[in-house]
């Protein structure tokens, strides 16, 4: 018996699946399962996080409900994944943040946006807040660059630290078989697998979402979201280089690299989350962890808000709306950062760790 009901159910399913194995060509989960005859908590959390929720094994399974064996791997693993985020999170005192994630994230987002608006208002007179600013350093008339950099670096470093601590607990629990660190080859393999969402393809035919036809577009929307996020991150990094190395202050003209990267990324962050949200709303409830609506949607909403406020700021940065929009955008980004370790964002980190582990196991088996 395992610690939780969902892990007991996951164990039951893996016992059924391991005596069938019809799905082994669909994704990484089933080959990983076949390397085991019994399943520890860590094994099950590993398999759950390796699952990309493509839905193919449910549609292809002769034992899925209403069959009495009641095999529903996507749903069981979706719940197990969500519970694993809480189980491994750092600090443990904040594990409850996952249970009512939508609420937590909206409160944090609202508070941080309000804090930036009030902060701007308190530190500047209304002429500055609602003034029209142009030219290099325009943003920093509302908030000094160093203050901005210090605040966001602190938030970002905290997020990274909390994530590292959480994923370390996960990594230990899923136990590397060779007793060693992840070697370069496995990490490269995992970067490729994650980068192309190799296992979000229903074994090649496409994924399932609302019905038994492989017409799902989540892969596309996830790419838009993920690469949009990376482009925005790249935009910020390039801007930081401009600022510190060449002494060039934002805002930059529309054709300059940070703005181009940020604009492309922003479009991804608007279109991607909308597509994912629409898919989430249409998804067959049989495949869903229905309890975690807030967690799924909260993170999409934060990414969407980040993209939207960023694009609005770009469009209206030479008008009187710049001040309030900058406050909103900074509030959204700040909230995104500090909620990262306690929301759906972590799925990417855990899944990546699971993919590294899988690449390791494959190499170990082949050798």
Partner 1 sequence: MSSKYDVLVIGGGNAALCAAISARRGGASVLVLEGAPKFYRGGNTRHTRNMRCAHDAATEILTGPYTEDEFWEDLLRVTGGQTDEVLARHMIRESKDILNWIVDQGVRWQPSLGGTLSLGRTNSFFLGGGRAMLNALYLTAERLGVEVEYDAEVTDLVIADGMFLAARLKRPIKGETELRATSMVAAAGGFEANIEWLKQYWGEAADNFLIRGTPYNRGSILKMLLAKGVQQVGDPTQCHAVAIDARAPKFDGGIITRHDSVVFGIVVNKHAQRFYDEGEDIWPKRYAIWGRLVAAQPDQIAYIIFDATVVTSFMPTLFPPIAGQTVAELAGKLELDPAALEKTIADFNAAVQPGTFDHTILDDCRTEGIVPPKTHWARRIATPPYLAYPVRPGITFTYLGTRVTKEARMLMTDGKPSANMFAAGEIMAGNVLGKGYAAGMGMTIGSVFGRIAGREAAKHARN
Rounded (5°) CA angle 149-133-141: 35
Give the pair of three-digit tokens for residue 281: 């709303």
Q: Of 3, 5, 8, 34, which lies in the binding site for partner 1, with binding defined by CB under 8 A?
A: 34
Quick one: angle between helices 41-50 and 5-18, nearest 10? 70
28 binds partner 1 (CB under 8 A): no
Which residue's CB is nearer to partner 1, number 15 or number 106? Answer: 15
Q: C-beta of 77: minimal distance to partner 1 in Å? A: 17
Nearer Cβ to partner 1 (14/138):
14
Query: Any contact of residue 62 with partner 1 (CB under 8 A)?
Result: yes
The yes or no reply on residue 15 touching partner 1 (CB under 8 A) is yes
Residues in the chain: 367
Size of the site for partner 1 (CB under 8 A): 30
Lookup result for tokens 């807040």? 129
In whole angstroms, how close is the CB of 212 to partner 1 at the nearest point?
7
Secondary structure of 94-149 in HEC code, one letter for each residue: HHHHHCCHHHHHHHHHHHHHHHHHHHHHHHCCHHHHCCCCCCCCCHHHCCCHHHHH
Place of tokens 């699952």: 51
By CB under 8 A, residue 23 contacts partner 1? yes
One of 3, 25, 136, 177 touching partner 1 (CB under 8 A): 25
Residue 210 as a binder of partner 1 (CB under 8 A): the answer is no
**363 Cβ partners below 8 Å, 6+ apart?**
185, 186
Q: Which is nearer to partner 1, 206 or 310 (CB)?
A: 206
Q: Is residue 32 within the footprint of partner 1 (CB under 8 A)? A: no
The yes or no reply on residue 206 touching partner 1 (CB under 8 A) is: no
Nearest distance, CB of residue 13 and partner 1, angstroms: 11
Q: What share of the chain is helix, strand, coil (3-state, %, to 5)?
A: 70, 0, 30
Surface-to-core class of residue 255, CB atoms within 10 Å of its CB (0-12 exposed, 13-18 middle, 19+ buried): exposed
Residues 314-343 that bind partner 1 (CB under 8 A): none
Query: Using an 8 Å Cβ cutoff, are 74 and 51 in contact?
Result: yes
Number of Cβ within a 10 Å radius of residue 325: 19
* Contact string (CB under 8 A) for partner 1, positions 153-192, x = contact: ----------------------------------------
Dist CA 114 CA 116 (whole Å): 5
Is 205 one of the binding residues for partner 1 (CB under 8 A)?
Answer: yes
Minimum separation from the CB atom of position 22 to partner 1 (A):
3
Nearer residue to partner 1 within complex by CB, 68 or 93:
68
Count of Cβ atoms closer than 10 Å to residue 110 Cβ: 12
Contact range with partner 1 by CB under 8 A, out of 62-70, 114-122, 316-324, 330-338: 62-70
Cis before 66? omega within 30? yes
What tokens were used for 231?
Answer: 């482009």
Residues 66 to 105: which contact partner 1 by CB under 8 A? 66-69
Closest CA to 57 of 38, 82, 31: 31
Q: Which residue, 19 or 146, is less far from partner 1 as judged by CB?
A: 19
Contact region for partner 1 (CB under 8 A) — 44-52, 63-71, 103-111, 183-191? 63-71
240 binds partner 1 (CB under 8 A): no
Confirm if 334 and 326 have CB atoms less than 8 A apart: no
Asked if omega into 298 is within 30° of 0 (cis), the reply is: no
Nearest distance from residue 68's CB to partner 1, in Å? Answer: 6
Query: Could you tell me if residue 61 is left (phi over 0), alpha (psi between -120 and 50 degrees) or otherwise beta?
Result: beta
Write down the least CB distance from residue 299 to partner 1, Å.
Answer: 30
Evaluate whether 269 touches 303 at the Cβ level (below 8 Å).
Answer: yes
Quick one: which of 7, 13, 61, 333 contacts partner 1 (CB under 8 A)? 61
- Greatest Cα pair distance in the chain: 72
Q: Which stretch binds partner 1 (CB under 8 A): 18-26, 94-102, 106-114, 155-163?
A: 18-26
**Chain positions contacting partner 1, by CB under 8 A:** 15-16, 18-26, 31, 34, 37, 56-57, 59-63, 66-69, 203-205, 212-213
């Amino acid at each position: 018996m395992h610690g939780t009901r969902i892990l007991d159910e996951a164990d039951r399913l893996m016992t059924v699946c391991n005596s069938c194995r019809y799905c082994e060509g669909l994704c990484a989960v089933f080959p990983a399962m076949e390397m085991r005859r019994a399943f520890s908590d860590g094994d099950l959390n590993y398999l759950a996080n390796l699952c990309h929720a493509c839905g193919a094994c449910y549609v292809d399974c002769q034992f899925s409900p209403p069959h009495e064996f009641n095999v529903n791997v996507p749903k069981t693993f979706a719940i197990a994944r969500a519970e694993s985020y809480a189980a491994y999170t750092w600090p443990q005192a904040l594990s409850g943040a996952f249970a009512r994630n939508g609420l937590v994230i909206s409160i944090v987002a609202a508070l941080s946006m309000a804090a930036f608006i009030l902060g701007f208002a308190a530190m500047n007179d209304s002429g500055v807040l609602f003034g029209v600013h142009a030219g290099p350093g325009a943003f920093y008339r509302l908030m000094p660059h160093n203050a901005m950099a210090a605040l966001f670096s602190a938030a970002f470093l905290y997020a990274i630290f909390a994530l590292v601590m959480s994923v370390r607990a996960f990594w230990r629990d899923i136990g590397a078989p060779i007793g060693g660190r992840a070697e370069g080859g496995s990490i490269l393999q995992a970067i490729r697998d994650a980068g192309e969402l190799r296992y979000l393809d229903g074994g090649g035919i496409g994924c399932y979402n609302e019905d038994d036809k492989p017409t799902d577009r989540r892969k596309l929307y996830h790419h838009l979201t993920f690469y949009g996020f990376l482009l925005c991150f790249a935009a910020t990094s390039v801007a930081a280089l401009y600022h510190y190395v060449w002494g060039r202050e934002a805002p930059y003209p529309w054709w300059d690299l940070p703005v181009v990267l940020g604009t492309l990324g922003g479009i991804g962050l608007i279109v991607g989350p909308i597509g994912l949200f629409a898919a989430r709303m249409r998804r067959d409830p049989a495949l869903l962890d229905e309890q975690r609506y807030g967690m799924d949607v909260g993170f999409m909403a934060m990414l969407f808000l980040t993209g939207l406020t960023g694009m609005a700021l770009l469009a209206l940065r030479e008008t009187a709306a710049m001040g309030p929009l900058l406050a909103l955008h900074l509030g959204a980004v700040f909230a995104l950062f500090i909620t990262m370790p306690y929301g759906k964002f972590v799925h990417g980190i855990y899944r990546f760790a699971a993919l590294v582990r899988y690449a390791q196991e494959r190499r170990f088996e082949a050798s």
